[in-house]
Structure 1
Amino acid sequence: MKQRASRKWALSQEIIVAAIAVVIFAVASVALPGFFTTENVVSIIRSISVLGILALGMAVVIIGRGIDLSAVAVMAMSVAWYLQMLNDGTSGWLAFVIVLGGVIGIGLINGFLVAYADVPAIFVTLASGSFVFGFVRSQLIAQDAVPVPAENWLQLFGGLRFFDVPIEVFIFAALAFLIFLILRYTKWGRYVYYAGDNPIAARNAGMPVRPMLVFRYVLSALIAFVAGLLTAASLHSINTRVVNSTLLYDIVLVAVIGGIGLSGGKGSVRNVLFGAALIGIMLNAMTIIDIPLIYQNLIKSTILLVAILIDGLLNPRDEQTAQQGDI
């Protein structure tokens, strides 16, 4: 009965979130000059795409009873390191392979410490994110903002459009579809839900819970790297100060408000799509209204707090969830 009620709420929540997004978009289009223009709509789509890609990685981790607070640090610092090596004259392929190995390494460390050392995920990923930021900024790059080298593939890639739609949108759609297929139609995807719902029962049933947990953090790190590359392609640079911004909380907000249960075992790609649309439109409207950043953060934090409280009431934590260290 509890599961059925939860599924009904999830469906209702998706409908509510989608309806609110449509209403905000319609009202803003009428009331805000410059909102319903080609340039601004493209800007919204781009922001939703990058935010949604990051939220996809976070969603997979949360569904499996975890949290990844290192995602933004991995996104920004890995790409900053990659661009720094390119600017220093390192071969493109060599630089990419080195950074890709580093990204996978961070994911493996996060997953190993959570799965095998039983350290709460919130502390592991918070510490690893801080380490990645501090180490890369102090040892591997020379400045906060690292530009994309002239005539680099990222510059060309960032300018690609199909039917006047930025390439980021198609990549977001492809990743969303791929993760949807994995979660919905593969044995590994079903294991993610089983492990998120009851990790002890899943382990007793013979599922490889710990290796799967490690793989989820590696996948999250790789998705963050992709989001970073798309950001650099779009802006022709990467600013590492984004690590200290509210982007991480925006990612969690997208997941929670979209309907991903923080207690694990609940959610889908559809939740990420609706959540990203709502938050992307809302942030864009607040920027056009010229609401000061401090009040934007206050509004977002209030929404996140309310969403977490509602999620806690609808999806009560148990002892295993607490051990995973979710928010």
Structure 2
Amino acid sequence: MNARKLFRYLNQEKIVFLLTVLLFVAFSLTLNNFLDGNNILSLIRSVAVLGILGLGMLIVVLGRGIDLSLVATMAISIAWSMQLIHEGMPVYAALTTGLLFALGVALFTGILVAYAEIPPLFATLAMATFVYGFGRAHLIVGTDVVYMPKTMGWIVMLGQGKLFGVPMPIVVAAAMALIVFLFLKFTKVGNFVYAIGDNLAASRIGGIAVRPMLVLQYVLSGGIAFVAGIITATSVEAMNTRIVNSNMIYDVILVVVLGGVGLSGGRGNVRNVIVGTLLIGVLMNGMTIMDIQYTVQNVIKSLILLLAIVVDSIVNPRDEQTGQQGDI
């Protein structure tokens, strides 16, 4: 009976959190300097951008969508902004231009999904390819890496500064998590996101403007991607546009799904993203200390994702309706 109660209490979020604690304890006992304060801060800082992008993905996935253009939007919008500053444009004007570009891309993506009714998987994949190609061909011609201008001013502190000893990327990620939590929990629009993800047809019958809401989800995701780009660029003093061709977008999906956000929509919250991000952070930090090859790290992350999903499906079996994967 006690085992049955334990199984009913468990869900994917709790399972992943338990895995995180077990990994943390194991690495603490076996790896030198893992528990060092600087290493713990470095661990959290290394996944701060991943967590911020995960928040953008969360909003879209809750509404039964997916956004594969997040990383491309982040990289190109920030790289273009910094190039404009190099060319003499004032900092705030350049950043505003980059933000408008990110929001414009997201708006067009949302229109493709909501009004043209193109499946989100294909619409965002095509948009990611377009944004990267258009950015490299017309906006940041002739370079893969755009270095941060020396005239960025206080904005540099967002990536390199500290607040009461805590690196600013962590502070910004925590602030973004709080904002998204309040938005989803206490606003009518946030409740609409859950309602649409849970049952799109019923939401439409209930009077929710479904199509504009779907567009809004992608616009919010694009804005969050721009914030993540600022943190990335100011942290390393450059934006490498080749990040678009990396596995980063899959890592973003990983932290969202791993934490327990349902791809079928309408199920999940900010806490799920935090839990998934922490697991990936602990895992990547430990594997880096052990000098495990990058390709092997990807295999291990994939296996952990599969394990978490399989265990959750056994502990919390879904019926046919809740097991549907939506229209992504």
Q: Alpha-carbon deviation of 1:312?
A: 7.6
CA deviations 1:138-177 (Å, max 9, x no partner) are 2221311111112423334323211210111121111111
Cα distance in structure 2, aligned partners of 1:247 and 1:41: 22
CA displacement at 1:310 relative to structure 2 = 6.5
Instruction: Tell me the SS of whatever aligns to 2:32.
Output: coil
Matches within 5 A, 1:161-240: 161-240=162-241
Question: How much has 1:308 moved relative to structure 2?
Answer: 5.5
> In 2 relative to 1, CA 133–262 (structure 1 residues): closer, same or farther, beyond 3 Å?
same
Distance in 1 between residues matched to 2:297 and 2:21, nearest whole Å: 20
State the 1:276 CA deviation: 0.6
1:309 CA drift (Å)? 5.9
- Which residue does the alignment assign to 1:42? 41
Cα shift readout 1:102-123 (whole Å, capped 9, x = no counterpart): 1111111111010011100000
3-state SS of paired residue (2:146): strand
Counterpart for residue 147 of structure 1 = 147
- Alignment length (residue pairs): 318
1:50 and 1:311 mapped to 2: Cα distance?
27
Matched residue, 1:324: 327
- Tell me the TM-score normalized by structure 2: 0.90
Distance 1:84 1:324 in 2: 38
Distance 1:227 1:202 in 2: 31
Query: Does the CA-based 8 Å contact 1:262-1:311 persist in structure 2?
Result: no
Is contact 2:263-2:326 (8 Å) kept?
no
Unpaired segments of 5 or more residues in structure 2? 1-7
Confirm whether residue 268 of structure 1 aligns to residue 273 of structure 2: no
The worse-fitting range, judged by mean Cα deviation, of 224-233 and 172-181 is 172-181
Structure-2 residue corresponding to 1:93: 92
Displacement of 1:93: 2.1
8 Å Cα contact 2:69/2:127 also seen in 1:
yes
Q: Distance in 2 between matches of 1:151 and 1:36?
A: 37
Superposed CA RMSD in Å reads 2.2
Displacement, 1:248? Answer: 0.8
Distance 2:209 2:25 in 1: 47
State the Cα deviation string for residues 274-321 of structure 1 (Å, max 9, x = none): 1111111111111111111111111223333455666788557769x6
**1:188 is matched by which residue type in structure 2?**
V
Q: Give me the identity figure in percent.
A: 47
Say if 1:84 and 1:146, in contact at 8 Å, map to a contact too: yes
Aligned residue type for 2:57: M
CA distance in 1, matches of 2:284, 2:325: 32
Contact 2:78 2:229 in 1 (8 A): yes
Taking the aligned partners of 1:312 and 1:244, their CA distance within structure 2 comes to 32
Aligned to 2:130: 131
Change in 2 beyond 3 A, CA 1:198/1:312: farther
Quick one: distance in 1 between partners of 2:159 and 2:288? 23
Deviation at 1:75, TM superposition (A): 1.1
TM-score, normalised on structure 1?
0.91
SS in 2 for 1:324: coil
Aligned to 1:75: 74
Assess if the C-alpha contact under 8 Å between 1:263 and 1:316 holds in 2: no
SS of 1:66's partner is: coil
- Supply the AA of the counterpart residue of 1:166: P
Classify 1:309/1:29 alpha carbon distance in 2 versus 1 (closer, same or farther; 3 Å).
closer
